[in-house]
Amino acid sequence: MPESITVDYDFCQGTHGWEGGFAAYHKEMEMQLEAGPRLLSPELDSDGTGFYLQEMNRSDDLFRYLKRGLTTDDDIVPGQE
């Protein structure tokens, strides 16, 4: 079994290459999409920052996601499974 890689990101310092995305909706629909770093909600008892994804999903079939490309800087070895 391959070794696991765990990484932490401090979104106070920017997005670190992470991007929020939305799919499975018609472009003509008014969805009010928003993505990016934000302070965490006070009810989480944390001073940190997280990656925020928000939408007005009137059709109830929206897919939202975070993505980031991996490189050798992430300890990824090309050609490995």
Question: How far is Cα 23 from Cα 27, in angstroms, rounded to an integer?
Answer: 10
Residue 11, pLDDT score: 87
Residue 23, pLDDT score: 79
pTM: 0.66
Question: How far is Cα 9 from Cα 28, in angstroms, rounded to an integer?
Answer: 34
Task: Please give the backbone phi and psi of residue 13, each rounded to the nearest 5 degrees, phi first.
Answer: -95, 10
Cα angle 73, 78, 81 (rounded to 5 degrees) comes to 115
Average pLDDT, 10 consecutive residues per value, the chain (81 residues): 75 89 71 83 84 75 85 81 75
Contact of 33 with 58, CB cutoff 8 Å? no
